Every structure is written in C-alpha cells, then in structure tokens.
Amino acid sequence: MKILFIGGTGTISMAISRRLLEQGHELYLINRGNRNAGLAAQLPGTGEWNRPKEILVDINDEEKAAKLLEGLEFDVAADFIAFRKEHLERDYRLLRGKTKQFVYISSASAYQKPLADYLITESTPLANPYWQYSRDKIEGEDYLMKLYREEGFPVTIVRPSHTFDERSVPLGLHGAGGSWQVLKRMLEGKPVIIHGDGTSLWTMTHNSDFAPGFTGLLGNPHALGQAVQIMSPESMTWNQIYQVIADALGVKLNAVHISTEFLVAADGGRYDFNGSLLGDKANTVVFDISKLKRLVPGFAPEKSMEQGLRETVQNVLKHPELQREDPEFDAWCDRVIAARQMALDSLKQE
C-alpha cells in the first residue's frame, strides 16, 4: 500500500513505521525530520525499498504542506500528532479526496471517568471531566464521525491505552524529565510514590505489540467508520508494576502510598496530575479487545507487561542519553513524602 503518516517516529508510530517498511509498503512521512534518522537506523538492510519517503515540512505550515502533497494520493493516511479539532480540520483540507482511509489516533483516556462498568469496550461512553487532553480527543472523534456520516470521509478511529517503548519506563507519575528520576530514586534506596493504595489495575502495551494491531486495520474495509481500541489484554496493579521495575533494577522497593487527591492538591499545577491521574491512571482499566480480534484475526501480543518493563529498564540503564535527571521532581517527591510523615508523626503524638 501507499501510506502517509503525519508524524511516524514517536513512541507509538516508530514501531508501526518500521513494521510497514519491513513488509514492503511505500511509506511517506510528513514531519520536520528530527527523528527520521532514528527510524532509518532501526531498519534492516540498506536498500532504498525499505526507506521512508520524507516530506520535510512543519504540518502547521498548511500552504507549504499542500504544495508538497500536490499530485499524491494514498491508500491510507494517519495523523499521530493531531491533538485538537483544528488539527483534524487542517488534515481534512489537505487530504480530502487524496486517501481511501484516514486513521485518527485518539486515546483510551477519553472513556468516561469514573467508569460505570469495569470492562471497557468501544461502546463505553466518552466523557472525561478531569483532563482537557481527553476532551480534545473526544471532540476530534465527534468531528471526524460527523464527516463520515455526512460525506463518507473514510475515517477509522484508534484508541490506544498506555503504550511504551524501550526509551522510557512507564510509570504512574513522574516529572517533566520522564521516568529516569524515579528509577534513580529506587537505585539510591529512596522512597518512591505510588498513587492511591497501588491496587488499581492498569494496562500497558509495548509498541512492538501495538504495531500488528494497528497495521491490520490499514486498508481494512471493515474498519471504516469504526472506533477500535488496541492494547494488550493483560492488566497489572500499580504495586505489581513498580515491583517488577525494582526487581529489574535489582533493588528493594521502598514504596510510599499517597492518595491521588492529595497528589493532585500538592501538584500546584506543575505536572497536571488532575488529568493524568484522576482522568486516567488512578482508574482501574480492563479492556475487551474482541472487536480488534475480529477485525485483525490472529492479533496476540507476544510481550508480557513484565517482559516489556524489564527490557525497557535494562535498555535505559545501558543508554546514558536516556537518563534525564529531574532534580525539581526529585525535590517535590521529598517534600510530599516528608509532609505525609509529619502528618503521621503529629497524629502519633496526640
């Protein structure tokens, strides 16, 4: 197939791009080219057949992008960096009549919070009062489905859950610098914060397992007009997740459980825990992926959550460039944990 990706080198899309090129598809990437070398370095062989065709432009420069797309038509186009409705309005103007399928990457965080039923399917209502990111994704879905109903615009909506790769260890909470500072605390024997009591269930999917589900929807006529969630069928508690990480580091887990509401209040607007915790990770999630399996027969993740976590920890340890320190978040954790301890000490003195 002839496929266009807007983006194509991020956490989710890198593995998809790699898989499509390995399969011999003709892949065009619209991006600024900052990470394309990283994709090329991961591809087998050296032939031009398995290299993406680069369209180097900032997609927000719509006039220039339109000129570069003149005369091109695609079997599939997908936007991995559309976060708001206006991004999709731009995509529609650029791609109307140029693609047989348009894939929008939404988010499983768009599902209702709190959930009315523990088992999440594609028919679970979309409503998230805690996170603007999720509300923007919902608005994007509504816009595209209206185009599908009224004009036949060939849309497929994909809702990923927490997808990760070898470059960053997925966690419940971290600072702007990413996950390394939490791992560093573990290695130093310092306490790490787990939101709530750590018993809520969470689902994580390695991008190498996400890719087969996604690529199976491309060019699939049964996927048009559909929303499909793609993720591992496995769930683990946050306590289990942090224990696996500590074991992979070869250290004892020193966990401090702090209520999500307290973390949100202590956030002070620094990290948007209101959205990422109350609107997402603090909720137990169990996904029904039977629809995906109907559309993509044989879909079966090969990497367990434990295996993916362990491999990612080892990769981060081997690559210093992935170890971004975040002293501000480290100090914030120390203050929050100290405040909790002071409260406990004051109650003991009564």
Q: For residue 142, what are its two tokens? A: 């509504």
Of the candidates 303, 271, 277, 290, which has an alpha carbon nearest to the alpha carbon of residue 207?
Answer: 303
Q: Are 340 and 256 in contact (CB under 8 A)?
A: yes
User: What gap in Å lies between CA 84 and CA 133, rounded to an integer?
Assistant: 8
Q: For residue 274, what are its two tokens? A: 């209101």
Percent of the chain with pLDDT over 70: 95
Strands 236-237, 201-202: pairing kind: antiparallel
Q: For residue 116, what are its two tokens? A: 């009315």
Question: Who's near 232: CB < 8 A, 6+ residues apart?
Answer: 203, 204, 205, 206, 209, 301, 305
Per-position DSSP letters for 165-181, written without gaps between them: -TTS---S--BTTBSHH
pLDDT value of position 46:
43
Sorting pLDDT into bands at 50, 70 and 90, what band is 40? low
CA distances from 84 to 87, 141, 267, 315 (A): 5, 10, 25, 33
DSSP state of 99: B
Would you call the peptide bond into 114 cis, given omega within 30 degrees of 0 as the criterion? yes
Mean pLDDT of 296-322: 96
Per-position DSSP letters for 75-94, written without gaps between them: SEEEESS--SHHHHHHHHHH
pLDDT value of position 43:
55
Q: Is the pTM of this model over 0.85?
A: yes
Reduced to 3 states (helix: H, G, I; strand: E, B; else coil), residue 177 is: coil
pLDDT value of position 348:
85
Residue 113, judged by CB atoms within 10 A of its CB (0-12, 13-18, 19+), counts as middle
Of the candidates 330, 187, 286, 175, which has an alpha carbon nearest to the alpha carbon of residue 245?
Answer: 187
User: What gap in Å lies between CA 226 and CA 165, rounded to an integer?
Assistant: 26
Among 27-41, 201-215, 249-263, 291-305, whose mean pLDDT is lowest? 27-41
**Torsion angle, alpha carbons of 164, 304, 201, 107, to 10:** 40
pLDDT value of position 350:
61
Report pLDDT digits (tens) over 317-341: 999 999 999 999 999 999 999 999 9
Sorting pLDDT into bands at 50, 70 and 90, what band is 35? low
Mean pLDDT of 250-274: 94
Average pLDDT over all residues of the chain? 94
pLDDT value of position 231:
97
Q: Which residues of 68-89 are buried (b: 16+ CB within 10 A; e: fewer)?
A: ebeeeebebbbbbbbebbebbe
Strand partners, 87: none
Mean pLDDT of 238-244: 98
pLDDT value of position 69:
96
Report pLDDT digits (tens) over 280-290: 999 999 999 99
Sorting pLDDT into bands at 50, 70 and 90, what band is 294? very high
pLDDT value of position 39:
56
